[in-house]
């Protein structure tokens, strides 16, 4: 997509975001950053690259570093828009056709009206909805809608649902009471075997296995790791890092601000 098109979409999105104009500049500049400071081969973005910039933008938003948030949001939108154009011999003609496509407020508004209430939901959109299109009109429509819904998700101040908090705290209890002790037990058993066989060539293997088990087993708790990611998306790092013998429930927590 041509720079002018990236920037025009960014300016339209900024009109729907109630933030000072200097942040519009960050969003617009970010929308062409990947073509200036290249971190990937031109026109070869991938969903993980997009998610990285979305996550960076969201983290910066929670830290109140709005310049960084809007800059990374612009970068994410750039890659979203590029992924919608197939990189083949028709690529240049499609880009030229897009310059003649009118960006309408209703396309941006439609994206802002689509509620994104979880990181998983956003991730599914990035992986499943974004792909090469042949129609300039459809490319522009999806570019505007998806960029807008990502923008809304990044700057959302919505609090996490009570059920998510309760599910996370329950998973955290299980993680600390079962997953971590089991991981420690297996690691210690393998360590003792390593020490007991220190005169044999196989001893280093048990030592390596002990270290790997201590690291890998906690990563294999899918519910906890998924819920932890969702809580971090909402900016609830204090709850995520809270470690007490008896964790609270959502009803006992104070009002949460993302």
pLDDT single digits (tens) 65-91: 999 999 999 999 999 999 998 776 777
| Torsion angle in degrees (nearest 10) through CA of 165, 118, 154, 101 | -170
Q: What is the pLDDT of residues 116-129, one digit of tens each?
A: 888 999 999 999 99
Count CB atoms within 10 A of the CB of residue 235.
21
Compute CA 90 distance to the chain's CA centroid, rounded to the nearest angstrom. 31
Residue that the structure tokens 């109140």 belong to: 64
In the chain, where are the structural domains located?
3-155, 162-244
Q: So what's the pLDDT on residue 244?
A: 44
pTM: 0.80
pLDDT tier, 101 (very low <50, low <70, confident <90, very high otherwise): confident
Pull the structure tokens for residue 29: 């500049």
Instruction: Give me the percent of the chain exceeding a pLDDT of 70.
Output: 88
The pLDDT tens digits for 151-210 are 999 999 888 888 999 999 998 888 888 888 888 888 888 888 888 887 777 778 877 877
- Give me the long-range contacts of 34-37 (CB less than 8 A, separation at least 24): 34/75, 34/78, 34/79, 34/82, 35/3, 35/78
């Amino acid at each position: 997509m041509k720079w002018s098109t990236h920037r025009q979409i960014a300016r339209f999105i900024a009109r729907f975001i109630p933030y000072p104009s200097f942040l519009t500049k960050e969003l617009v500049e970010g929308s062409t950053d990947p073509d200036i400071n290249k971190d990937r081969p031109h026109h070869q973005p991938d969903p993980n690259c997009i998610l990285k910039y979305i996550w960076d933008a969201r983290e910066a938003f929670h830290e109140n570093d709005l310049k960084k948030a809007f800059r990374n949001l612009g970068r994410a939108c750039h890659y979203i828009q590029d992924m919608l154009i197939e990189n083949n011999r028709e690529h240049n003609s499609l880009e030229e056709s897009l310059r003649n496509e009118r960006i309408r407020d209703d396309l941006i508004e439609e994206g802002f009206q689509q509620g994104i209430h979880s990181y998983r939901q956003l991730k599914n959109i990035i992986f499943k909805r974004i792909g090469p299109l042949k129609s300039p009109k459809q490319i522009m429509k999806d570019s505007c809608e998806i960029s807008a819904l990502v923008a809304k998700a990044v700057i959302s101040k919505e609090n996490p649902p009570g059920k998510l908090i309760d599910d996370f705290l329950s998973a955290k209890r299980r993680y600390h009471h079962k997953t971590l002790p089991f991981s420690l037990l297996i690691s210690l058993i393998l360590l003792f075997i390593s020490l007991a066989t220190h005169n044999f060539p196989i001893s280093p293997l048990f030592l390596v296995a002990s270290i790997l088990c201590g690291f890998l087993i906690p990563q294999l708790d899918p519910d906890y790791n998924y819920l932890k990611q969702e809580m971090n998306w909402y900016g609830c790092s204090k709850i995520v890092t809270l470690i007490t013998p008896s964790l609270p429930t959502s009803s006992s927590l104070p009002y949460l601000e993302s």
